Structure 1
Amino acid sequence: EHTITGTERMQNRPIAILVDALRYLGADIQYEKKEGYPPLHIVGKPLEGGHLEVVGNISSQYISALLMIGPILKNGLELKLTGEIASRPYIDLTLWTMQNFGASAEWTDVDTITVKPQPYSCVADYTIENDWSASSYWYEMMALNGNPDSEVRLEGLFDSSKQGDSVVKYIFSLLGVKSEFENRDVLSPVKLK
């Protein structure tokens, strides 16, 4: 048995959608104070898994959480997203990362993802790419900078990134900001000019 809590701010963030989904999959989770919000009391046990439907416009963090437990569910997970799918690039990034660790997780229809039950495999070395959305501020600064000789060097970004926000390099190229990667398809420094 465990209690998951958080800062006062975290205890004011609604989490009912995720808790309801986990309960549907067999989790024993109770709210300790306010219904729909942390802290949570969890009694650990194996979960069955199976078919689950959630609205597609919820936080991709909830969708990613459900997908990432899929391989350890007894029956795997078939996750159907109803309505508009708001965060497909982040969902795709989660699936790609899971596949890098041996999971069989993929879109099997335009609104359905299937995750087969199987353990994750261990990877000896795995480099985590930096956040492209955080790089956007540096791109903005370079676009607003009047000095053509200015350069900024950003570490840890892929030229062919799976992150949806990597589009900033193209958007800011229209504003005159050039991105130079030292190596293509390798985690490498980026020079902004």
Structure 2
Amino acid sequence: MKIAVLTFDGFNELDSFVAATILNRLRAKGWEARITCPTPQVTSMNGVTISRQEPLGFARNADAVIIGSGIKTREIAQDTQLLAELALDPARQLIGAQCSGTLLLAKLGLVGELPACTDLTTKPWVVEAGVKVLDTPFVAHGNVATAGGCLAAQYLACWMIARGAGRQDAIDAMHYVAPVGEKQAYIDRAMAAVMPFVDAEAVMA
């Protein structure tokens, strides 16, 4: 599984790094989550500058894509050339978006009339784009998932692992990153959030 973690200027560090770190727990099984950006370097909302691992075009051929959020998402949502370059396809890719990343999904036409999740700040913009917003941290419709809230990155990663590898791999990844003394509670919460949207027959492994 090659996974593009779309990361734009003004990005939220939690969205990109938490998801990428959890997904890369499956590196031994050939998984690789790569920070994917439109420019060689991007600077986070808190002033942290990083170098991309992959150019934006990587997302077109990736097996899965996660769209992180950031303070410039509304500007990005108006960049029709950039959106067209993504060419995401839920028929062959698992696609997840977090917080304001849901706005980009809406602009790409990948949400439609289906309800979605986003953060409280982005909610008015997503509603304006014609999407019903749920008061829940995670929802998935087929191969497209959305999450709301910075720490919901764990749910996107957990869902993607459950879909792409299996339930036990998702449990193992969550066990590794969860706080000591609270591991089972974190696993139970994550499984409760994502497994209703993971059909046993839909697992891609």
TM-score by shorter chain over 0.5? no
Which of 1 and 2 has higher RCO (CA within 8 Å, sep 6+)? 2
**Radius of gyration: which is bigger?**
1
More helix by share: 2
| Structure holding more strand per residue | 1
